[in-house]
Structure 1
Amino acid sequence: MTSPFINSLNADAALALAPDGSSAKAAQKLARPAVWPTLARDGAVLWGECQGSGAHPYLVGVDARTAEIASKCSCPSRKFPCKHALGLLLLHAAKAGEWKDAPPPPDLAKWLGGRAQRTEKAAEPIGDTPVDPATQAKAQAKARAARDRKRTAGLEDLELWLSDLVREGLQAARARPYGDWDRQAARLVDAQLPGVARLVRLIPEWLHDETGEMLTAHLGRLWLLTQGWRQREELSEAERADLLTALGAPLDRGSLPPAAPQVWQALGSVQEEEGKLNVRRTWLLGALPPGEGPPGGEPKPVLLLDFAPTGQGLPPALAPHQPFTAAVAYAPSAYPQRAVVQGEVSAAGNALPLPDGTLTGMQERYAAALALNPWLERIGVFVGPAYLHLDPPQLCDAEGYAVPLSPRVDEVDLWAMLAQAETQMQTYFGEWDGKSFLPVGAVQTEVDVTGAETGPGAPT
């Protein structure tokens, strides 16, 4: 029997199960098929053999038939899940290695049978035995309460740490060793707050900004997370979803309502490393029917996220500018942007018409988005007609406004965009984070250097 929990479990969610930072780091080293002579699954039960330093491999099992994922391993570790179980989950999330369909060996089968008998720990029926709804609700509430206590303690600790950081001042923060930031981030990982830990690890990027404005804004976002958690019961359902996303809670893809198939078009993607994860952001555009997706039914960029441990391959990317038909469901949010492709993708006919935009409009849209979701890190925007300027690195529009390009501009094929532009201005699609613009792709707009527009061109 399969389970929506194992189907929705990605690398980010698997690492969030780690009992501490050292376990997560060790698991990523084990997420290599070469150290697993056996990889198998039986429905939502994963098991395998991991070769350690001894003569015999460790027998590892993961029970993912319910939301309360559990593991068993023959290693001597007292951590749950141990690094071997986490490594097994990372391999499954990355679809790496050769997996066979096979029942678990007797030792694991006995353990699984015992779990099946403890129905109060199940979040859904196991086999044909119904679970009492009251017992199920009690078990889920107990698990949520334990998780919330961990998060509360972690965020209270962060609140005190931020207060000390601000009181000591910017100069004292610049003198801190990098180990200070890593230790605080590790404590947040232990508190099941991986999203907050990532933001703490980003603090050194802003320490040497002369004005201190970027650092202040970044610390303010962290402080707002602590206050949002305190007031979480007063937030709307969509606002709580944004808060949990910012804290690092994984998206339960299986809980998203089914979406109707329609035509979409990939605008491009950006891939980067976040800690020990490879992250790919793919942007789509689709003309949504009224009443679906963001309010107004207007075409707005949609964000898909893919994760894989460092050294592991990501799923195949969608071809840019190629229209396709698929069902795309939005994740709950006060500003719907992230989405998930449901089911199969099939080729479609003509390309979609693509909008243009100005830098002034980009700023207004970002401000409106932050008003709905203050933890939003970026939005996808069209700017054009516009051109790229390299000294200093800027995006300039036809109205004479300019914004700086992102320091991560080397991660995109900027020179290819410049070569394709030749003497024509372009409509650029990219990511705006309130500080800089990261170009993701360009759509040719036939405007010569004198500014006389002659008509839309094809995607480049």
Structure 2
Amino acid sequence: MNSTRRNYVINEFKVRFTLSSFLDQLTADAALALAPDGGSAKAAQKLARPTQWPTLAREGDVLWGECQGSGAHPYLVGVDARSAELASKCSCPSRKFPCKHALGLLLLHVAQSGAWQRATPPSDLAKWLEGRTARAEKAAQLPSDVETDPAERAKARAKAQAGGDRKKTAGLEDLELWLSDLVREGLQAARARPYGDWDRQAARLVDAQLPGVARHVRQIPDLLHDETGEALTAHLGRLWLLTQAWRHRTTFSELERADLLSALGAPLDRASIPPAAPRTWRTLGFVQEEEGKLHVRRTWLLGDEREVALLLDFAPTGQALPPPPPARPFQAAVAYAPSAYAQRAILQGDVTAATTPLPLPSGTLTDLQSRFAAALALNPWLERIGAFVGPAYLNLDPPQLCDADGHAVPLGARVEEADVWTMLAHAETLPQTYFGEWDGRSFTPVGTVAADTQATPDPRAAQGAS
């Protein structure tokens, strides 16, 4: 089963069953859909043999066991399915989540293979489970006076915002001086800096409640190898623009301030977004990446009025991302976040199946840059837009998306030759309509689309680039 299919299987599985019955209704396909990559899925299937598990146990919605590896002592494995954030813990050295041992434990449970017992987890796993419970309870709690008194709530929010603004102001003023020094010293001096310099500056920005700016600082070392310096100059200019925008934020409209805060890394207040009416949507595909200690997934949707919506999901390392929307057309309420350029959105309420075909927007290579420029004019912090291009075809050498008139744009650096071959095979040498991400420099195909069929996501996009 490929990675795209895995994600759709786990999504449809979770739509059908409640969390309380997750383990009892789990299927092998849904378990394998949790695998971080194909190698982990294959390794888990090899481990799903009772002879390698001297202990198999369950307590409520918690599975645990001992898996005998090559060492003298078996690995202690646990899976916590008590909430939507299914998590696992294993004493093995793997940095993948879930690891092959946790997946193997789930597969054994599905098959009801081996001698399972009802037993309390050992102390190491019990401590981990208690910590997860305590964190969940703490996140759900509010001080009683703030919870019941609207005036106290408003006062607490205003105080928290004022404190956060002071931190942001100090952090951006520090960044402004740092950028000035960096430009004055020149490109060669920047290349000689140790990586610790970039990490320390990023850490200061995180402390100033500016995680979005910190992410841009961490990206600087990747741009230092370009001899022209164009990419680095544009990147530093974007950072400088953020410092100046914060100074003049009081002159911005409400939507412009929302875009600025999003660029700085402020979390989206989902509760404040007005409810939307249910409509028909289809999933165009998704891209999954790792940013530091976060898993990030961008899911692109097409609405019945030809509009595009972007769902963003995040999960810390060690936790599973929520399931994406189903592959087939569906009915759901999709509400856009406040922005001068409506693109990011959230799902509200339940998702139900739909059969209504959706018309496709048109798009050509020649107007790709003008569309991006129009979007940037509304929101200068956009890093990418979703765009339809077609009819077009893929070229291998150099990797490009081309049209019949001789226009071409480069493919994104994360699109590898093997993935281009896969898309070429799907296209069967015929021009296609592609949907993908355009960042002003390169096009990353997310999937091929047709007006009367479902989107076919690009395998590379579904698996995520590392």
TM over 0.5: yes
Q: Which has the higher helix share?
A: 2
Over 3 Å counting, the alpha-carbon distance change for 1:58 and 1:369 in structure 2 is closer
Partner Cα separation in structure 2 for residue 143 and residue 389 of structure 1: 53
The answer to whether structure 1 residue 274 and structure 2 residue 291 are counterparts is yes
8 Å Cα contact 2:396/2:420 also seen in 1:
no
2:310 corresponds to: 303
Task: Pick from 383, 393, 403 the counterpart of residue 389 of structure 2.
Answer: 383
Equivalent positions of 1:436-455 (< 5 A) are: 436-443=442-449
Give 5+ residue unaligned stretches, structure 1: 1-32, 42-49, 61-83, 93-103, 126-130, 289-298, 446-455
Q: Is residue 204 of structure 1 aligned with residue 221 of structure 2? A: yes
User: 1:157-216 deviations in whole A, cap 9, x for unaligned?
Assistant: 111101101111111111111111111001111111111111111111111112111111
Instruction: Say whether the 8 Å CA contact 1:35–1:51 is kept in structure 2.
Output: no
Counterpart amino acid of residue 223 in structure 2: W
Deviation at 1:316, TM superposition (A): 1.6
Residues 212-251 of structure 1: matches in 2 within 5 Å? 212-251=229-268
State how far apart, in whole Å, the 2-side matches of 1:319 and 1:458 are: 11
Separation in structure 2 between the aligned mates of residue 354 and residue 169 of structure 1, nearest angstrom = 47
The residue correspondences of 1:165-180 to structure 2 (distance < 5 A) are 165-180=182-197
Shift of 1:36: 9.4
For residues 285 and 209 of structure 1, the distance between their equivalents in structure 2, rounded to whole angstroms, comes to 36
Query: Quick one: distance in 2 between partners of 1:238 and 1:359?
Result: 30
Asked whether 1:374 is paired with 2:391, we answer no
SS in 2 for 1:407: coil
Aligned pairs for 1:275-424 within 5 A: 275-288=292-305, 299-320=306-327, 322-410=328-416, 413-424=419-430
Q: State how many pairs are aligned.
A: 344
Using a 3 Å threshold, how does the CA distance of structure 1 residues 169 and 265 change in structure 2: closer, same or farther? same
Give the CA deviation at 1:138. Answer: 2.5
Higher relative contact order (CA 8 A, sep 6+): 2
Distance 1:389 1:166 in 2: 38
Deviations 1:250-306 (A, max 9, x none): 001111100000000100000000111111100000123xxxxxxxxxx22210011
Give the direction of change, closer, same or farther, for the CA distance of 1:225–1:326 in structure 2 (3 Å limit): same
Q: Does the 8 A contact of 2:285 with 2:455 survive in 1?
A: no
What is the TM-score normalised by the length of structure 1? 0.69
Contact 1:425 1:444 in 2 (8 A): no
CA distance in 1 between partners of 2:275 and 2:202 (Å): 36
Residues 421 and 444 of structure 1 are in contact (CA less than 8 Å); yes or no, is this contact kept in structure 2? no
1:401 deviates by 1.1
Unpaired segments of 5 or more residues in structure 2? Answer: 1-63, 65-75, 84-120, 457-466
TM-aligned CA distance change 1:416 to 1:356, over 3 Å: farther
Q: CA deviation at 1:354?
A: 1.5
1:397 Cα offset (Å): 1.8
Alpha carbons 1:412, 1:439 under 8 Å: kept: no
Cα RMSD after superposing both structures: 3.1
Q: Does 1:426 align with 2:443?
A: no
Q: Percent identity?
A: 68
Distance in 2 (CA, whole Å) between partners of 1:430 and 1:171 is 35
Secondary structure of 1:146's counterpart equals: helix
Residues 398 and 231 of structure 1: CA distance in aligned 2, closer, same or farther (over 3 Å) = same
Residues 154/243 of structure 1: CA separation in 2 closer, same or farther (3 Å cut)? same
Shift of 1:399: 2.4
8 A Cα contact 1:272 1:411, kept in partner: no
Q: Structure 1: how far apart are the matches of 2:259 and 2:454?
A: 36
Task: Check 1:332–1:206 CA distance in 2 against 1; reply closer, same or farther (3 A cut).
Answer: same
1:292-328 residue CA offsets vs partner (Å, 9 max, x unmatched): xxxxxxx2221001111123221222234x2110000
Output the TM-score relative to the length of structure 2. Answer: 0.68
